Chains A and B, each alone.
Chain A
Amino acid sequence: MVDAAHDQVDFVPPAEVEEMELYHPKSFLTKYVFSQDAKVIAIQYSFTAIAIGLVALVLSWMMRLQLGFPETFSFIEAEDYYQFITMHGMIMVIYLLTALFLGGFGNYLIPLMVGARDMVFPYVNMLSYWIYLAAVLILLASFFVPGGPTGAGWTLYPPQAILPGTPGAEGGIILMLVSLAFFIVGFTMGGLNYVVTVLQARTRGMTLMRMPLTIWGIFMATVLALLAFPALFVGAVMMTLDSLLGTSFFMPAIVHMGEQLSYGGGSPVLFQHLFWFFGHPEVYIVALPAFGIVSDLISVHARRHIFGYRLMVWAIVIIGGLSFIVWAHHMYVSGMNPWFGFFFATTTLIIAIPTAIKVYNWVLTLWRGNIQLTIPMLFALAFIVTFVNGGITGLFLGNVVVDVPLSDTMFVVAHFHMVMGVAPIMVVFGAIYHWYPKMTGRMMNVAMGQIHFWITFLGAYAIFLPLHYLGFLGVPRRYYEMTDTTFIPASAQDLNAFVTVIALVVGAAQLLFLFNIGWSLVNGKKSGPNPWRATTLEWQTAQTPPGHGNFGKELPVVHRWAYAFGLPDATEDYVPQNLPPDQLNSDYDNSKLSPDTPQAAE
């Protein structure tokens, strides 16, 4: 890492010529289907993730119908219900959010934002997508095998996950585990690309601290994923063997339905450790890209630099590191040694400090800004509200003794939906509204965006806020129905019915969003290269949408950080990262340029 060392390396040609040999597509098939262009792969990832996410959305409707109106729908049996919750959870966390943030946004934004022509290993990147697609198809196949998909809960805890008495123990669980293994292999291929591209392929002048926070968030999340997914892989492999070969990695001696099984000596808690060693970093695998992206949305649309950039970077790194030593806070009542509770409660609450700092800095970025209430900004505000709400309920669950009554209640459901469901999804929406013009050259319709935003934000908040209180009451999660109890008042059922109605409305509002995506592709206002007047490199490309190789003949040279908003001595209130310092007072506003002139940015 000594500067001089760069010159001793003879593999990398100087920046003035082509940085890397791009694979040039020769046919329609290699251009749009088996493409090695990160931007195409990004769109493939995004569409697949959103499509499978819609399946999970429908599953959540089914669950809500059952909870809101029990004994009404004959097509939702207990067995179906448990399959719905399992598939809903797994799809949303892994196949939608992880794939969309890293495979989708990561692929699209990393090369563009760091000023690279493409990912460093385009072929491996393409393989990554196709293996991901295979994982999705295997997962979907489990709906069509005898016994259906697994109903073990997304945590897949043994012994029940592989024993009859749990739906899908015949074949569904195996397909789930195989699909996860595929996902992990595919992700690792993509992840190698993201990490090496960020470390090695940045353009000249793009020092680490000049990178936009989006890149920091995605980069750190990828590092976490590369280190955390192996734990899930290990657990999945061992559970597959337990199920198929009858080994006893996780299976103790069991009498099941009156019969002695041949298992013996295994430890179900060991699986839980492996699962959560993956599972907790997974929360940050979803959250860190959201943190990064929302920082950029807030900064651009508040026309102000991000407040405390260095602290924001450090917080991302610290949160990433700490996320590996908090996993057992999911296991306070799992039967593990209770003395672990002291350690994990302390680490868990400490992680609240860097997280809180990020929240303060987002709000302080708004402070003394010049806030444009665009759709992306609205979603960023909604993120702050829902994330703070979901974050503070995490302090309840992280504090070991408070977790004892609340664990496995609806409080937990409300908490993690707020913090890693609603909040990141708000960022996903904001990001799509924000980058859509770059991807298509057109703006998304604002009126539809407003309706979509308000229904989604207020609706999602109204769904999950009251569920916390059912949790206090002691209503358990993962209950097909709540038969008569002495402690749950009738009003709780009314509340459930209310939540179900809202959930149906919010879900339906997403159709408007999808419609807007299609409609604006044809009818949207022409955006020009830089409609938000943003500083980062993806907005300074020669063509919109960016062509093969991202930039023109020469890669951009970076002269400043990504947050040069409101500089006192510049013509405009923003200065692009690649604007030479002597042109601060020139007429550089490329948002006025027509998108049809390819040489515009140069």
Chain B
Amino acid sequence: MSSPRSRIAAHIRDIPRSGIRDFFDIVSTMKDIISLGIGEPDFDTPWHIREAAIAALERGSTSYTSNLGLLSLRQAIARYGERVFNIHYKPENEILVTVGVSEALDLALRAIIEPGDEILYHEPCYVSYAPVVIFAHGKPVAVETRAEDGFRLTRAQLEAKVTPRTKALLLNFPNNPTGAILEPHDLREIADFAIQHDLIVLSDDIYAELTYDGRHTTIASLPGMKERCIFLHGFSKAWAMTGFRMAYACSTPELIEAMMKIHQYTMLCASIISQEASVEALTDADADVEEMRAEYHRRRNFLHNSFKEMGLPCHQPRGAFYAFPYIGHFGLTSKEFALRFLDAEKVAVVPGTAFGECGEGFIRCAYATGMEDLQEAMRRLARFIHSLQPNARPQPNAC
């Protein structure tokens, strides 16, 4: 009989354990820590959105919905897209409601990848991108973004990695873990690159509402992009609805139909209760989103100014709720730094390497945590780096 391990499909077996999970196992055994390692909002879902979910239950809305999602929700998504992002999708056949952007991304990749197709994505990035490409029998090709560019992605970097097998490009700006954004002219360059190489662009815009120096532009809104773009967005971050598991994909009828084929046989539909709550989120929660965004903005300023005061190089995060300071000059790896900081000061941060090898030398500090905890965490971080006696000056180009 074959060994238990050999029964696992090789392409799954070969995926390494997530670095974040290793770290989670250590942190979860500890008491009374302040965690800057949490990638979800600390706010509760706005009460009127929760009320909408309660009302849905009271009404007896407990059934399946259309595979695409409730029409009323798809209509609300279409209106929101026009109002906020200047993107235009038909509720009838260009929008698919999914269980989180994670599912939408999986559907999109499975819908487009032939075995061996290459998918370009930028690192440091959200932990799931390379694995989901591999699940779909594609080949993930990482493009490293750098601190000195503010972790922006450039056309030159992409040109260096594109091959005739490249099928698609996966974007996530505002970015987890760096807080980087792309300016409209960066997006135009990337759009031209995608058109020239005939690539599909999967745009994960989950942090779209959370920008601090101007409003977000999605690549899907650029001329010539609608027909080759899959716009992915959801409610987890800006509406603080992680547990509702609600997201959506917008694209051409052909791509949505292909994604829906997989969705209908694997998921059937997203929870109707979450869908009803999401209609409320899209139609009547702009003020709530703005209030949370303003709070993240203040926290972003607080962290960035605190890093400056303690001499820690950090590019200015311009979106999402993460800062990604450089700690490489202390002579420790990211993981060593995070473990020693946790041990000495009971504060959890995530080693940059959890988000790709080029995250070495950085730590991710999430500011989806209350101001009091952030203030205490910064006091402890200042004390900790003081105790390390840096044996090197910060690299000037790391900031």
Asked if A and B are interacting partners, one says no
